[in-house]
Amino acid sequence: MEKKNGLSTLLSRLGIKKTRRVASTRGYRKPPYKEFHEPELRSLPSPRPSTPGLGAYNQLQSSFFWRIPVEIRLIIWEYVLDVSEPNGVLHLDIRDGTLRYCNCFERDLTKLGFRHICWGSRTWHQREGEEDANFNAAEHWGARRLLGPLLTCKLIYHEAVDAIYRCNTFDFRRAASVNRLPHVILPHRLQQIRSMKISTAFSWPVLVDWKYPFDYLASSFRYRGPDHPKEWLAACRTLASMENLAYLEVTIAIWPRDHRQGSSVEDEAVLTLLKPLVEVRAKQFMVVLTTSLTPGIRKELEKAPFEISQRERAGIGFYLDAWDD
C-alpha cells in the first residue's frame, strides 16, 4: 500500500495525472438501433377491384369538383402529385420490408446521387418515440406527404394514383432497392414508370461471386456501400423488364479497395458492370462513369443502346470529405 501511495505521490509531483482505464473499442461497436438487417419482404396486398366498393363516400360536399370533366381532373391530379419542386425526384430505399420514399431536397445537384443529404431524411432514420423536428434542417416539411391526397377518398385514389408513376423520377442508390421495386408494387404499376435514376458505387476489382463482408441486406439507415455486383446483375434484369421507360440515367462510381491503387480501373471491371445494361431500353438512356473511358471500352460498347460519358466532377464518393462528392 505504501509503494502504491508513493508512486502516486511521485507521479503527482511530476505533473502526471492518473487516468481511468478505457475499454477497448476494437471490433464492431453496436449501434443505438434495434434494426440492423432488413426484415423479410412484405407481401403485396390481396387483389382488389379496380372500382371503388359500395362503402365509398360520394363526396357530396365536393359536388362542384366532381362536375369537372375527368380529363381536367386528371391534369389537376398530375399537378398535385408531381414533385417537380424542388428537384423533381423521389428517392427510394429499403426500409421495414418495403420501399420508403422521400422528395429530393439536395441543393447541390452536381453531387453523386448516393451522396445527397436526402438520404439522411427521417423517412429512413426516424425512431419510435423521437420527435421529428431538427433531424435534418435542410429537409422540406412536405418531403414525405406525397401520398396524402390519395388517402382522402377511394375515388381520388382510383383517378390519381397513376400520376405518381407517370409524372415523377424514381431515384435509387443501390441495386437491391431496384430489385425490390417489382415486389412492392403491382406489375402494371411497374410498367407505368417513365423516368428513373440510379447512382451507386462498386469496389474494384469487381467480383461477382465474392461473398462481401456485408452480404446481408442492411436497412437503409445502415447502408454505406459499396454495392453488390450480384445484386447489380439482377437489377439490370429488372430494368430490362420495364418496357415504357422514357428516361433512364445510370451513374456508376468505381472505388479502389486501396487508395494506393489510384484511379485506374481495368476495362474488364467496367465492362462487367456495363454489359448487363445492353438489354435495357429507354428513349433517352445515359450512363455516366467516374473512371476514364478507354478506347477499348468505347469500342466494346459502340452498339450499346445508351450514351456513355465520364463524369465531369472529379469526386467518386469514396471519402467522407465534401471534395469527393
Residues 97-108 have a mean pLDDT of 83
pLDDT in tens, 42-52: 666 555 555 44
Residue of 265 and 86 predicted with greater confidence: 265
Q: How confident is the model at residue 190 (pLDDT cuts 50, 70, 90)?
A: very high
Contact 113, 251 (CB under 8 A): yes
> Which range among 75-79, 106-110, 160-164, 171-175 shows the weakest confidence by mean pLDDT?
75-79
Read off the pLDDT band of 264 (50, 70, 90).
low
192 band by pLDDT with thresholds 50, 70 and 90: very high
3-state secondary structure the chain: CHHHHHHHHHHHHCCCCCCCCCCCCCCCCCCCCCCCECCCCCCCCCCCCCCCCCCCCCCHHHHHHHHCCHHHHHHHHHHHHCCCCCCCEEEEEEECCEEEEEECCCCCCCCCHHHCHHHHCHHHHCCCCCCCCCCCCCCCCCCCCCCHHHHCCHHHHHHHHHHHHHHCEEEECCHHHHHHHHHHCCHHHHCCCCEEEEEEEEEECCCCCCCCCCCCCECHHHCCCCCCHHHHHHHHHHHHCCCCCCEEEEEEEEEECCHHHCCCCCHHHHHHHHHHHHHCCCCEEEEEECCCCCHHHHHHCCCCCCEEEECCCCCCCCCCCHHHC
With 50 as the cut, is the pLDDT of residue 86 above it? yes
> What b/e readout covers 287-314, taking b as 16+ CB neighbours within 10 angstroms?
bbbbbeeeeebeeebeebebebeebeee
Region 186-202 average pLDDT: 94
> Tell me, what amino acid is at 78?
E
The mean pLDDT value for 119-131 works out to 62
Query: 222-242: per-residue pLDDT in tens?
Result: 777 889 888 999 999 999 999
Does residue 28 carry a pLDDT above 50? no
Query: pLDDT (tens digit, 9 = 90+) per residue, 245-255?
Result: 999 999 999 98
Q: What local confidence, expressed as pLDDT, does residue 253 receive?
A: 92
What is the reported pLDDT for 84? 57
Span 287-302, pLDDT tens digits? 999 988 899 999 999 9
Q: Which value, in Å, is the radius of gyration of the alpha carbons in the chain?
A: 25
Structure confidence at residue 205 (pLDDT): 76
Mean of per-residue pLDDT scores for the chain = 76
More confident residue, 98 or 240: 240
- Give backbone dihedrals phi and psi of 200, rounded to 5 degrees, phi first: -150, 175
Q: Which residues contact 74 (CB under 8 A, 6 or more apart)?
A: 159, 160, 163
pLDDT for position 178: 96
Mean pLDDT for 201-208 is 80
Q: The cell 421507360 sits on which residue? A: 245
Ranges 105-109, 111-115, 183-187, 237-241, most confident: 237-241
